[in-house]
Structure 1
Amino acid sequence: MASFNDFGNSQVAALPAHLKQFIVEQNYDHYTPVDHAVWRYVMRQNYSYLKDIAYYPYIPGLNKAGLSIEKIPNLQEMNDALAKIGWGAVTVDGFIPPAAFMEYQAYRVLVIAADIRQLNHIEYTPAPDIIHESAGHAPIIADHDYHQYLSYFGSIGAKAMFSAQDFDLYEAIRALSILKEMPNADEKELKKAEDLVAWQQENMGEPSEMALLSRLHWWTVEYGLIGTLENPKIYGAGLLSSIGESASCMNPDVEKLWYTIDAIKYSYDITKPQPHLFVTPTFQNLIDVLEQYADTMAFRVGGTIGLKKALDSKNTCTAMYSSGLQVTGTIAEFKVNKSNEPYFVKTSGPSALSVNNKQLYGHGKNYHKDGFSSPVGKLKGYQKPLEDFSEEELSAIGIKENETAVLNFESGITVSGLVKSILINNEKVQLITFTDCTVKDKDSNILFDPAWGIYDMAVGEKIVSVFCGAADKEEFIEIPHKSATGTHHVQYDSSTLELHQLYQQVRNRRHTGGDYGFLGNVWRKLQANHHDDWLCALEILELLDHENAETQLALEIKGFLEQKAAQEPEFTKLINDGLYLIKHPIEQNLIF
């Protein structure tokens, strides 16, 4: 990304560097006339149906998000509108890793895929696209209770532990979604990609925190219903942006379940309609369920459970001592006592020390480049935790600068060396730095040798929190996993470029008027060179019907569409739904 455009939006401007790496230019001029027609068709169908079944008033929601029915949204216009409710928006290239997606939500920034679905996937696409992200997520973002839930979910998701299997599944899903949006994708490659996703889903092992949180996200933010089991309303973006599933989801054969913590037991398949959906009575219930799950997560539980999750994760994690000191690195080892409480923690590779998510001066990953290790727990013979000792009390037991000290921990670990400095913050002893230091365990095994240099000993009775990622992400310059697989960008042949021109000519007539008889020329070219097209023909018919012009031409086009709907099942619902809106047009004041 050559330069960063924050669109004059304070939420976007506040994004940290590790999230900015996913942002791409929207390149608004790259959207074709067919793309705009796809947007318009979906949005008109959405309004026609969702005005009665969506939880949040659809048109007011579109207005507040800077969207219109007539054209693909411009990111600047969206940011201008969203800024008024404390949100922003950026465009990205397809799926981004779940951890990054969650963190964007925490910063109150909508992540919008820059691409738009192809015409042949107009009802639904497994790939994230601008219809799903903006027409799905954005209209409801103005609801205060809902956007509070969304940002709170993001802040919790940003701390969730994830696994190598999570990354493998993410890559498999991303690759499949890209293939599915490719025109004329190879069937063998598609089958291979689908099989890989299925295999990854079946071989995840014990689901990580991120995997379970992703389920809660899917069954609420993406596919949630609100109200009663008998008469629910749609608020999930996946349903709001799918003109197929938004209708079919209300069928009795789609099971409706109350949304509780049990939703984490239900996995999902992004490539197929969902066989069941969850209904919440209120948005507050979403927060209550999220709190219930968060109480089981490593960032709240800490201790052995948290460290075990971090060890299994094999990713950069942060362990926080009860003194407030945060140790960031890859957890390589930890030891527990008979009560299953940690008494020693070790990281490998670049590590850092922080307090209140701000890196301590001189304790970055360049200084602790080979890892970090330290005891956890109380000193032997003292009821009071070492972190709570006053300077006088420290001095009384021989811990003072420029003097040799010997610290015997309840665990049997012994630390002896010359005290170089003592860090105290908010009346908590957090770090004691030694020179000429030896650290041994209860069996006299060397944990630190004086020849290794200066020893920084973390102070704290317990590990109270463990979370994924760095405490100070900006200083640690933590770059989350970013896929090397790029989305596919079509190279249009001369025939397709001609079709784009025909769509543009219809669009011009709709917006500027003129000789509607000219549309007969467009129709004849469609019949001659693009006989499979139905959407441009539908747009011509809509215009002629609305203007009561060229009656004979309108009858000819209508006959063609009705015949196509009758003979080609894949177009039946699309064409009939389009014809319905010609007979029952949207009020003009709503097409803004």
Structure 2
Amino acid sequence: MSDFNDFNNPQVAALPRHLKQFIVDQHYEHYTPVDHAVWRYVMRQNYSYLKDVAYYPYIPGLQKAGLTIEKIPDLQDMNNALAKIGWGAVTVDGFIPPAAFMEYQAYRVLVIAADIRQLKHIEYTPAPDIIHESAGHAPIIADKDYHQYLSYFGSIGAKAMFSAQDFELYEAIRALSILKEMPDADEAAIKKADELVTWHQNNMGEPSEMAMLSRLHWWTVEYGLIGTLQDPKIYGAGLLSSIGESASCMSNEVKKLPYTIDAVNYSYDITKTQPQLFVTPTFQNLIDVLEEFADTMAFRRGGAYGLQKAIDCKNTCTVLYSSGLQVSGTFTAFTADENGNPVFIKTTGQSALAFDNKELKGHGKDYHKDGFSSPVGRLKGCDKPLENFTADDLKTAGIETGKEASLTFENGIKVSGKVTEISSKNSRIFLIKFENCIVLDEVGQVLFDPSWGVYDMAVGETLTSVFCGAADKDAFLEIAYKSNTGTHHPEYDQRTKELHKLYQQVRNRRHTGGDLGFLGNVWLMLQKFHYDDWLCALEILELLEHEGAEPALAAEIRQFLIQKAANQPEYKKLINDGLYLIKHPVEERLVV
């Protein structure tokens, strides 16, 4: 990505290649005057309500993230502000795979959907949008304890094992959220997509590590409450960016439970409001629960447990030998001894070897294109692991470069051939290369035949970690998994473009001042051609009432809005909340 824009932000600049591929241009010029009005309405409502129920001071948080109430944020402004607290931000196209999302967090980069919700979804959108990501996630980033939790969560989530079912569910959710945001979406298509999501949710099998972690993420980062069960405050971005649910969640109908590891047992549905929420006393408790869960994960447990998770994953995973060698590939089999400890591992298809997450020269997936296999364990009769052998130990064991060697492991596996290379790092041997090599198991079955070529034997007594993905992702992957389903980008007809112009005229007057007389004409055009609109009418009324101008026109617009709220229940709360804010305005100093 030679034209990659890092916004002069160190966190964004440090992103690896496999994450950069998800980034799209923000295209700020594509936001319409209606989009800016939607942003402004939601942000003013948020401030009016959240100043009392949000955990952190909402406006200072917005300012530290480079946001204002008045306009959709520009990525450059956000990056300038976030850089001061060691974070960055990029725009992406809707939902991205959970593993990638987690990894961005580990790099301390906020992932922000470039699109903004339609006016008809102003209270809540099932699709990620710039209101949710920036107004929800960004303002709390300035809290040191919280952003440490967020980045730590990302580093653990990036290692989580996922299942084939996770990807199928991700695709189904992405497709549904895109459909629901389309202006002319076919109801039958939405119903079908909804049913597909439900089917996947009901047929996940045993939840994967990623599925369980996604639940912890949902109940904290997205829908978390902090404080006491009796008087909790909101910190979750999903609540902070939903002007509907941020109010309804505080009612007694929504159960409040203490946040513990038990939250992993509660699945969620992104298209519905939450039946219960979890309250943490502190952000440190979030880290404690995450640690408790991480201790159950394959990347910490390693061994046969981790290997089985890797096989179930059916995707690229990495095992870490106790010597430091990392083997990446699709694991298909392993052999264990009577105690359940792995004694032989096998990948199928393209594999690679790495050390410290850097691919070893000459050991990429083109070289190991047909898979990789190797013993695990100690040599028979040795009082220390092979990786800790000194030069004298090697000589005593008959392992010398250029000479024939025959190694027998405690588990009975035999490796015989001519040693051509012994690789070590940090005084530990991690790889021995053989020519004309045969590998036999304890009953004499051939595990590697000399005709298959050179044999690279991994060295290590145990497998200390198993995690999802390649050790060196940039070297292993030309391109990571990316959805084929693109988000919807609207084409506006002439009538809609005329409506945009009316919104822009009102916006211009609010920013520049001057005569208010032309607003009567804007109102006439709304009445004649855009009778369904309520937000532009609300903005005109706001200007007139705040400046005490055109009382007859103001009374006419107010009556129209009151009537609309009475006749169309779907607008009742939105209009009434807007009228409330005209009487109780957000302080001007907070909006610029």
Q: Same fold (TM over 0.5)?
A: yes
Structure 1 stretches of 4+ with a deviation exceeding 4 A read none
Q: How far apart, in 2, do the equivalents of 1:401 and 1:490 lie?
A: 66
Q: Where does residue 218 of structure 1 map in the other structure?
A: 218
The DSSP-based 3-state class of the residue aligned with 1:369 is coil
Q: Where does residue 58 of structure 1 map in the other structure?
A: 58
Q: Give the Å deviation of 1:2.
A: 7.0
Kindly indicate whether residue 339 of structure 2 is the aligned counterpart of residue 378 of structure 1.
no
The DSSP-based 3-state class of the residue aligned with 1:517 is coil
Q: Where does residue 47 of structure 1 map in the other structure?
A: 47
Conserved 8 A contact 1:302-1:465: yes
Q: How far apart, in 2, do the equivalents of 1:2 and 1:40 lie?
A: 35
Q: How far apart, in 2, do the equivalents of 1:467 and 1:533 lie?
A: 52
The DSSP-based 3-state class of the residue aligned with 2:486 is coil
Q: Where does residue 143 of structure 1 map in the other structure?
A: 143
AA aligned to 1:12 is V
Q: How far apart, in 2, do the equivalents of 1:340 and 1:489 lie?
A: 54
Q: How far apart, in 2, do the equivalents of 1:381 and 1:483 lie?
A: 52
Kindly indicate whether residue 117 of structure 2 is the aligned counterpart of residue 117 of structure 1.
yes
Alignment of 1:242-391 (within 5 A): 242-391=242-391
Alignment of 1:402-413 (within 5 A): 402-413=402-413
Q: Where does residue 540 of structure 2 map in the other structure?
A: 540
Q: Where does residue 473 of structure 1 map in the other structure?
A: 473
The DSSP-based 3-state class of the residue aligned with 1:25 is coil
The one-character-per-residue Cα deviations of 1:441-490 (angstroms, maximum 9, x if unpaired) are: 11211111111111110011111100001111122235321100000111
Q: How far apart, in 1, do the equivalents of 2:215 and 2:325 lie?
A: 32
Q: How far apart, in 2, do the equivalents of 1:392 and 1:429 lie?
A: 13
AA aligned to 1:367 is Y
The DSSP-based 3-state class of the residue aligned with 2:570 is helix
Q: Give the Å deviation of 1:391.
A: 1.2
Kindly indicate whether residue 154 of structure 2 is the aligned counterpart of residue 154 of structure 1.
yes
Q: Where does residue 513 of structure 1 map in the other structure?
A: 513
Q: How far apart, in 2, do the equivalents of 1:345 and 1:300 lie?
A: 18
The DSSP-based 3-state class of the residue aligned with 2:242 is coil
The one-character-per-residue Cα deviations of 1:125-170 (angstroms, maximum 9, x if unpaired) are: 0100000000000000000000000000000000000111000000
The DSSP-based 3-state class of the residue aligned with 1:190 is helix
The DSSP-based 3-state class of the residue aligned with 2:134 is helix
Kindly indicate whether residue 486 of structure 2 is the aligned counterpart of residue 486 of structure 1.
yes
Q: How far apart, in 2, do the equivalents of 1:265 and 1:477 lie?
A: 33
The one-character-per-residue Cα deviations of 1:295-325 (angstroms, maximum 9, x if unpaired) are: 0100000000000000000111100111111
Q: Give the Å deviation of 1:332.
A: 1.5
Conserved 8 A contact 1:470-1:478: no
The one-character-per-residue Cα deviations of 1:229-263 (angstroms, maximum 9, x if unpaired) are: 00000000000000000000000010000000000
AA aligned to 1:576 is N
Q: How far apart, in 1, do the equivalents of 2:568 and 2:517 lie?
A: 29
Q: How far apart, in 2, do the equivalents of 1:2 and 1:163 lie?
A: 33
The one-character-per-residue Cα deviations of 1:383-403 (angstroms, maximum 9, x if unpaired) are: 311111111111111001111
AA aligned to 1:518 is F
AA aligned to 2:194 is E
The one-character-per-residue Cα deviations of 1:192-241 (angstroms, maximum 9, x if unpaired) are: 00000000000000110000000000000000000000000000000000
Q: Where does residue 33 of structure 2 map in the other structure?
A: 33
Q: Where does residue 394 of structure 1 map in the other structure?
A: 394
AA aligned to 2:527 is Q
Q: Where does residue 524 of structure 1 map in the other structure?
A: 524
Conserved 8 A contact 1:469-1:478: no
The one-character-per-residue Cα deviations of 1:249-291 (angstroms, maximum 9, x if unpaired) are: 0000100000000000000000010000000000000000000
Q: How far apart, in 2, do the equivalents of 1:577 and 1:544 lie?
A: 18
Conserved 8 A contact 1:310-1:317: yes
Q: How far apart, in 1, do the equivalents of 2:302 and 2:2 lie?
A: 40
Q: Where does residue 437 of structure 1 map in the other structure?
A: 437
Q: How far apart, in 2, do the equivalents of 1:395 and 1:455 lie?
A: 20
Q: How far apart, in 1, do the equivalents of 2:452 and 2:391 lie?
A: 28
Q: How far apart, in 2, do the equivalents of 1:591 and 1:457 lie?
A: 64
Q: How far apart, in 2, do the equivalents of 1:261 and 1:195 lie?
A: 30
5+ residue gaps in structure 1? none
Q: Where does residue 582 of structure 2 map in the other structure?
A: 582
Cα root mean square deviation, aligned? 0.8
Conserved 8 A contact 1:347-1:373: yes
Q: How far apart, in 2, do the equivalents of 1:314 and 1:481 lie?
A: 14
The DSSP-based 3-state class of the residue aligned with 1:335 is strand
Alignment of 1:57-136 (within 5 A): 57-136=57-136
The one-character-per-residue Cα deviations of 1:422-459 (angstroms, maximum 9, x if unpaired) are: 11211211111111111011121111111111111001
The DSSP-based 3-state class of the residue aligned with 1:516 is coil
Q: How far apart, in 2, do the equivalents of 1:156 and 1:362 lie?
A: 29
AA aligned to 2:560 is F
The DSSP-based 3-state class of the residue aligned with 1:141 is helix
Kindly indicate whether residue 186 of structure 2 is the aligned counterpart of residue 186 of structure 1.
yes
Of 375-384 and 154-163, more deviation after overlay is shown by 375-384
TM-score between the two structures when normalised by the length of structure 2: 0.99
Q: Where does residue 496 of structure 1 map in the other structure?
A: 496
Q: Where does residue 206 of structure 2 map in the other structure?
A: 206
5+ residue gaps in structure 2? none
The DSSP-based 3-state class of the residue aligned with 2:460 is coil
Q: How far apart, in 2, do the equivalents of 1:207 and 1:478 lie?
A: 29
Q: Give the Å deviation of 1:492.
A: 0.7
Q: Give the Å deviation of 1:184.
A: 2.3
AA aligned to 1:420 is T
Q: How far apart, in 2, do the equivalents of 1:496 and 1:475 lie?
A: 47
TM-score between the two structures when normalised by the length of structure 1: 0.99
Of 134-143 and 449-458, more deviation after overlay is shown by 449-458
Q: Give the Å deviation of 1:111.
A: 0.2
Conserved 8 A contact 1:116-1:131: yes
AA aligned to 1:22 is F
The DSSP-based 3-state class of the residue aligned with 2:531 is coil
